[in-house]
Structure 1
Amino acid sequence: MAVTIKDVAKLAKVAPSTVSRVIANNPRISEKTKKKVREAMDELGYHPNFIARSLASQSTQAIGLVMPSSTDVVFQNPFFPTVLRGLSEGAHEKHYALYMTTGKTDNEILDGVTQMVQGGRVDGVVLLYSKIEDKVLMYLQERGIPFVVIGKPFKHVEEITHVDNDNFRATKEVTEYLIQLGHDHIAFVGGNLNLVVTVERLLGYEKALREAGISLNDEYIVHEEFLREGGQEAVRELLSLKVPPTALVVADDLMALGVLNTLDELGIKVPEDISIISFNNVLVSEMSRPPLTSVDINIFDLGFDAARSLIQKIENPKEPIKRIIIPHQIVKRFSCSFPNEERVFLPQKGTFS
């Protein structure tokens, strides 16, 4: 016979309603009582029936996650498993489940979100990206669905709760770091220009160059997907220039790995011949050869704070709009050094002499 709330209440010597409040983590219940009830639940092997609770409360106890593209592409990048781990822990803390939707096109993603929301499968939504033009965000706003964005919204920033890094400042700082090392031929390898994070980082890069009196060179700005192949394509394009860069700001560690692979194939040494600094500080950056200098954007915290903020909005519709900025740190390793003025690049051979 299944253990019920009444069985737990009897063992803990409390009312069944008290057990229900403990399961819901009601702040009005003392920690002493919570401890006693939870010990009784453990002793009896009682597990709350969250489906029944959801039906009774008209709440799904679930959060919808919207990915920027299809999972076969997304999960190639270590950013997403890490941010999902943060989201999962933040949701688990409040006994919420996660419900993921994705698609290969913007319309497929919107269809998935529409089915998820109209089907009553979730109480709120987290967008794991921020695009310049996003039908999903507009749909959620129009429907009045609680949602949180990981990233800076392109429009109506003061009206949307979001969790982000200061990407403008971070990229300005890394570009300044390369300038301080003596580089004045610095390229920027960014992601999709429809993503706000790409725009913010590009602006930070450009600001640092202007303040240092270094002319902007449009040929030094390349945009590819946040994948290893994107980095490979970008660096080949940059190395084909008449005057190739001596340093690269790469917007993602996985792209930077593609850059390193291509440079190794061409016999170009890092950092002796070219310096590289990237973003995210995932395991790839630490284990690459050489280990990459990278900006730690605290990905786990982005996810954890997004889940916590959304649940606060779900449970209290009057919760004020928040802008949460997660701090960043430059983790210096071995991919940056002073420019080697003695080496001359030979673009037709793809080597240095």
Structure 2
Amino acid sequence: MSITIKDVAKYANVAPSTVSRVIANNPRISDRTKEKVREAMKELGYHPNFIARSLANQSTQVIGLVTPGSSDVFFQNPFFPTVLRGLSEGAHENQYALQLVTGQNEEEIYNGVVQMVQGGRVDGVILLYSKVEDRILMYLRERNFPFVMIGKPFNFVEEITHVDNDNAQAAKDATDFLIELGHERISFIGGDENLVVTVERLTGYENALTQASLPYREDYILHQSFLLEGGQDAVCELMELPLMERPTALVVADDLMALGVLNTLNELGISVPEDISILSFNNVLTSEMARPPLSSVDINIFNLGYNASKHLIERLKNPEVPVKRVIIEHEIVKRFSTEAPVHK
């Protein structure tokens, strides 16, 4: 015979409605009662029927996740597994599942989102990126479908709940760090120019140069994909500059790109940090395992994901909650890829 809510209620000495509210993680139920009911569920081997609950509540208990661009970047870049851990933990705490939309190109991803939303497969959506121009964002807004972004919206900032770092300040801090070491020729290797994070970090880099009265050089600014190959292509282009005009330091927008930079410089016989310093972003395992280990801006990726889940679910439970901008702190983690320039 299967265990029911009534059995759990009797075992825990509470009302069946209280058990239902504990399963739904209702904030009005005290932590003590929640613990008692969950212990009873565990002792009796009771597992809630979420499909039945979803039908009754007209809710799927599923959040859709939308990746940027090609699935190559998503599956190869360590940023995404880390942000997924945060998203998953935030969703699990509230008994939500995650559904991922990927594709080989933007058209496939857009079509996947339309099918997911119109098919009623998810209650809300989290965009794992922010673009300058984005059909998916406009589609979700037009349908008034609940969504949250990781990254600052390029438009409608006051209308969209988003979880982000202060990317302009983070890039300025990174550039200032290199300037304080004595570097004057500093290059910026950024990602896709249609990503708001790239726009913001380039702004921070420019602000640091301006404040330090250092020249801004167009040939020091490169944009590539957030992949090993992106870093390799960018540094090859920089190394074509005359020897005395080459940068002595690089701000690289992503650790995986920075690893590509390191590999290429090693092949060219250029030493890091003796000949050129590298400061990258994300502080994932890649940065620690690199040789030399990379100095990196820790943007607390896990917290980005966790807070995105938390605030979307909060919005799903109460559509009247105000729009929020949640800023996750960053810090520079110094390792062995940065030092003062030997020759300016």
- Give the shorter-chain TM-score range: over 0.9
Question: Letter of the aligned partner of 2:62 in structure 1?
Answer: A
RMSD: 1.2
Runs of 4+ in 1 over 6 A off after TM superposition: none
Cα deviations by residue, 1:204-252 (Å, 9 ceiling, x for unpaired): 1111111111111101101100001110110010000122111111000
What is residue 102 of structure 2 aligned with on the other side? 102
TM-score (norm. length: structure 1): 0.94
Of stretches 183-192 and 10-19 in structure 1, the one that deviates more from structure 2 is 10-19
CA distance in structure 2 between the aligned counterparts of 1:324 and 1:69, rounded to whole angstroms: 24
TM-score (norm. length: structure 2): 0.97
CA distance in structure 2 between the aligned counterparts of 1:65 and 1:193, rounded to whole angstroms: 22
What is residue 255 of structure 2 aligned with on the other side? 253
What is residue 311 of structure 1 aligned with on the other side? 313
CA distance in structure 2 between the aligned counterparts of 1:95 and 1:126, rounded to whole angstroms: 16
For residue 148 of structure 1, give the secondary structure of its aligned residue in structure 2: strand
What is residue 64 of structure 1 aligned with on the other side? 64
Cα deviations by residue, 1:109-163 (Å, 9 ceiling, x for unpaired): 1111111111111111000000000000001111011100000100111111000
What is residue 276 of structure 2 aligned with on the other side? 274
In the alignment, structure 2 segments of 5+ residues that lack a partner are none
Q: CA deviation at 1:203?
A: 0.8
Q: Contact (CA 8 Å) 2:41, 2:47: kept in 1 or not?
A: yes
Cα deviations by residue, 1:179-220 (Å, 9 ceiling, x for unpaired): 111111111100000000001111111111111111111011
What is residue 6 of structure 1 aligned with on the other side? 6
Of stretches 9-18 and 115-124 in structure 1, the one that deviates more from structure 2 is 9-18
For residue 122 of structure 1, give the secondary structure of its aligned residue in structure 2: coil
Question: Letter of the aligned partner of 2:104 in structure 1?
Answer: K
Cα deviations by residue, 1:54-90 (Å, 9 ceiling, x for unpaired): 0000011111100113434312000000000000000
CA distance in structure 2 between the aligned counterparts of 1:229 and 1:247, rounded to whole angstroms: 19
What is residue 190 of structure 1 aligned with on the other side? 190
Question: Letter of the aligned partner of 1:47 in structure 2?
Answer: H
CA distance in structure 1 between the aligned counterparts of 2:188 and 2:84, rounded to whole angstroms: 28
CA distance in structure 2 between the aligned counterparts of 1:31 and 1:274, rounded to whole angstroms: 54
Q: CA deviation at 1:301?
A: 0.2
CA distance in structure 2 between the aligned counterparts of 1:33 and 1:84, rounded to whole angstroms: 30
Question: Letter of the aligned partner of 1:4 in structure 2?
Answer: T
1:46 aligns with 2:30: no
CA distance in structure 2 between the aligned counterparts of 1:123 and 1:204, rounded to whole angstroms: 36
CA distance in structure 2 between the aligned counterparts of 1:32 and 1:178, rounded to whole angstroms: 51
Question: Letter of the aligned partner of 1:127 in structure 2?
Answer: L
Identical amino acids, percent of aligned pairs: 71
Of stretches 191-200 and 29-38 in structure 1, the one that deviates more from structure 2 is 29-38
Question: Letter of the aligned partner of 2:343 in structure 1?
Answer: E
CA distance in structure 1 between the aligned counterparts of 2:103 and 2:179, rounded to whole angstroms: 41
CA distance in structure 1 between the aligned counterparts of 2:335 and 2:313, rounded to whole angstroms: 38
Cα deviations by residue, 1:252-272 (Å, 9 ceiling, x for unpaired): 000000000011111111110
Q: Contact (CA 8 Å) 2:73, 2:226: kept in 1 or not?
A: no
